[in-house]
């Protein structure tokens, strides 16, 4: 597609439920990133995928968070047993290859509200 596509754009879920957020990167982009944007917390790096390499999971805040990338394209971020503090905008981004020297393009985000 023309840009990074994320779904759902908005999600309201009850505390304790699991949620899945989807990201379709720009066609041909091998690098994929997930970021979280919380009110008052700014933008936090969560996880990074590059081709077939092991993902960099160093930003995931707890073991309730996981992500996978199937076929080197679409990625799913899963949050288990959601908590109210998980409420945030989850942004996906992609770039042509390893980030250095390449532009990282962002999707419009998935707004998650945990009630």
Partner 1 sequence: AQSVTQPDIHITVSEGASLELRCNYSYGATPYLFWYVQSPGQGLQLLLKYFSGDTLVQGIKGFEAEFKRSQSSFNLRKPSVHWSDAAEYFCAALTGGGNKLTFGTGTQLKVEL
Identify which of residues 4 and 88 has a Cβ nearer to partner 1 in the complex.
4
CA end-to-end span of the chain, whole Å? Answer: 33
Binding partner 1 by CB under 8 A: which of 22, 38, 56, 96?
56
Nearest to 35, CA basis, from 45, 22, 21, 50: 45
Rg, the chain, Cα only: 13
In the bound complex, what is the minimum distance in angstroms from residue 16's beta carbon to partner 1? 27
Residues that bind partner 1 (CB under 8 A): 4, 33, 35, 42-43, 45, 48, 50, 56, 59, 91, 93, 98-101, 103-109
């Amino acid at each position: 597609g023309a840009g990074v596509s994320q779904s759902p754009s908005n999600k309201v879920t009850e505390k304790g439920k699991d949620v899945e957020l989807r990201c379709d990167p720009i066609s041909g982009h091998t690098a994929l990133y997930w970021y979280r944007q919380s009110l008052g917390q700014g933008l936090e790096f969560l996880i990074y995928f590059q081709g077939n390499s092991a993902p960099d999971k160093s930003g995931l805040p707890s073991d309730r968070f996981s992500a996978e990338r199937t076929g080197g394209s679409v990625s799913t971020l899963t949050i288990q047993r959601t908590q109210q503090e998980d409420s945030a905008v989850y942004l996906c981004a992609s770039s042509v290859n390893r980030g250095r020297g390449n532009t990282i393009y962002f999707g419009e985000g998935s707004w998650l509200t945990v009630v």
